[in-house]
Structures are given as structure tokens and as C-alpha cells.
Amino acid sequence: MKYEIKCVGVLTSGGDAPGMNAAIRAVTRTAIFNGIRVKAIYRGYKGLITNEIVEFQTQNVSNIIQQGGTILKTARCMEFMTPEGRKLAYENMRNAEIDALVVIGGDGTFTGARIFAQEFNVPIIGLPGTIDNDLSGTDTTIGYDTALNTIIQSVDKIRDTATSHERLFFIEVMGRDAGFLALNSALASGAEAAIIPERETQVDQLEELIRNGFRKSKNSSIVIVAESEITGGANGLAKRMREEHPEYDVRVTILGHIQRGGSPTAQDRILASRMGVAAIDALMDEQRSIMIGVVNDEIVHVPFTKAIKDDKPVNAGLLGVLQILSI
């Protein structure tokens, strides 16, 4: 006989990402459509521990598909990393009559979910919500496309002033330790180069590229740098460039948290909606400890252990494309 799920809890955890609200909406409505009650948990795992749990009806998720951020708030919760914290979370969950969880977040969220599911035999399904796109087993994550679009809009604006002043700009983008945002935003914004942690920084090659650019027709250059200790960040590269080439007028822009905000793109809204429906379907189908992913436009189920493996490769071929197009 199937394990019957009468009530599902939904939470967002870790860094917020545009499209999380669309995912909350899809999870809530699909559950209710299937006769399952929904309890919203505020502030991620912290809200499970502090008992911030509220029953949701369909109207609680009206008018949110277009909103950035997360209506459930989010947090990175240290207490959930302790056995005592998780025990409290489980007790509150059971008192609230929650049988299963849908957790929306990134690798930290799924690491916590995996341990919690194992310790207390809780059915948990994850939805990949992160601008970093760094989860394995899925082509893309909720929020990534919106962040990419935010970045290229900003770079377009910086290019205006870079061209007017004939400057070299190092623009730092987020991604934690992954270069997806940097590489793809560089391609989409027509940047001269992308410096990403997955590839050793070829500063000499970079100089060569920029020198050639300036020598030829270009009067400005844009280099997108992924935040990371490995790349040295935009400030690190700019410092080196200023020391070695004082003739360049170098500027740095760190885009920062602007990349996490804004109304989700159509692509992120559609992705989040599909994944939200797939999460409830998976729970009803007795799937456990998996992340919903999308591969070649098909929904897939990815074990948490694989999703958090930290081995998602960037498409190295894109670096070649970037190089060709930046001559």
C-alpha cells in the first residue's frame, strides 16, 4: 500500500532566486488540486525549528508568479546542522501534521534535506532554486536565466560609459565557485573574455587579447570575472593589469546582489511551474530524496547525492566561441 501524504510542507532556503515564488505557487496549487493540504514554512529550516508554520490555501499564492525574492523568506540556518536542531524541526513538523517536504534552494538546502530525510525517514523532494546554476543533473536552475538577463542589461549600460571613456572594465558577477553566470553573460553581452574558476586564469592571454582589441578597432574592453578566490575577482585582476599596463584606464564594477533580484523571466516562471508540479507528482509516486531537474526539456529525478556533487561541468566549447567572437 502506498504511503499516503495528506499534508506537505514547503520552504525556501539559502540564497533567494527569482522564480522561487512561481515554484511555491505551483507546489501549493498542485498539492491542493490533488487533495493534499499545504503548510508554508517561513525562513527555511529555521522556521521549522522556531515553528513558523502557516496553512496555505490557493489564494495565498495569488499574484506572486511575477514577483522576485521569496514570499516565504529564506535563511541559512546553522542550528539545522546540529542533531538537536533537526530533532526539534522534526517534532514541529509532526505536530503540524506535515508528512512530507518540498524544499526549494541550492546545494546547502539539499545537503540538509538529505541528512534530515535519512535521520527521520521524511519524504523530501527538492527544487533547484539558485542563480548559480551549479547543481548537477539539471541543465538549468530556477533563477539562473533571470540573473543572466539582469547581468547583460547591466553590462550593456557599462559598455556605454566604457566606450565613451575608452576604458577597460572588469565586471564581477556571482556564481559562488561556478562560472556559468560569467561565461554565458560574457557571451550574451559581447564581452572580450570571461574569467571563470573552472579554467586556470590565463592572464597573459587576457592581456594579449585586450592589447589586440585596443590596437585594432576597439576603444573599450569588457572582461567578465566570476567571483571566486581562484579567479582573484575583478579587483585582483584589475590590480595586476594596472601594475603591468599603466597605460590602460581600468575600472571595476562588482554587480553584487542586484543579480538576485527582479521579476523572473518567462523561462524561469515556466521552469518553476513545471518543476513545482513535478515535485508533487514525484511525492505521490513515492519518490524520495530527489531533486527535480530538467534535461533536454524533459523533467528528470536526480538523487540529492548526485545533485550536490559539485561536478557540473561548464561547456568549455563556449570559451572558444567567446574567443572567436571577441577578435
Which residues are part of the catalytic machinery? 132
Least Cβ distance, residue 82 to ligand F6P (angstroms): 20
Sole window of 66-74, 125-133, 229-237, 299-307 interacting with ligand F6P (rule: CB under 6 A): 125-133
Nearer of residues 92 and 154 to ligand F6P, judged by Cβ: 154
Least Cβ distance, residue 90 to ligand F6P (angstroms): 26
For position 130 contacting ligand F6P by CB under 6 A, the verdict is yes
Reference 261, options 131, 120, 110, 69; nearest CA is: 69
Extended beta strands in 57-184, E state = 100-105, 124-128, 168-173
For position 106 contacting ligand F6P by CB under 6 A, the verdict is yes
Which helix (H) or strand (E) is 33 found in, with range?
Answer: helix 20-33
For position 132 contacting ligand F6P by CB under 6 A, the verdict is yes
> Considering only residues 205-234, where is the footprint of ligand F6P by CB under 6 A?
227
- Contact (CB, 8 A) for 100 and 283: yes
CA atoms 151, 156, 161, 167: torsion sign: positive
- Measure the CA–CA gap between 324 and 327, rounded to whole angstroms: 6
Nearer of residues 132 and 198 to ligand F6P, judged by Cβ: 132
Q: What grid cell was written down for 278?
A: 513535478
Binding string to ligand F6P for residues 143 to 162, with x set by CB under 6 A, is what? --------------------
Least Cβ distance, residue 233 to ligand F6P (angstroms): 11
* Total of chain residues touching ligand F6P, rule CB under 6 A: 10
For position 172 contacting ligand F6P by CB under 6 A, the verdict is no
Q: Output Rg (C-alpha) for the chain, integer angstroms.
A: 22
- The secondary structure of residue 168, as a DSSP letter, is E
Reference 294, options 184, 139, 93; nearest CA is: 139
Nearer of residues 263 and 323 to ligand F6P, judged by Cβ: 263
Interacting residues of 304 by C-beta distance below 8 A, sequence separation 6+: 110, 111, 113, 114, 117, 126, 289, 290, 291
Nearer of residues 171 and 210 to ligand F6P, judged by Cβ: 171
Single out the residue of 37, 73, 167, 176 in contact with ligand F6P (rule: CB under 6 A): 176
Single out the residue of 15, 68, 85, 105 in contact with ligand F6P (rule: CB under 6 A): 15
- What are 128's strand-pairing partners? 105
Single out the residue of 23, 174, 222, 319 in contact with ligand F6P (rule: CB under 6 A): 174
* Residues near ligand F6P (CB under 6 A): 15, 106, 130-132, 174-176, 227, 260
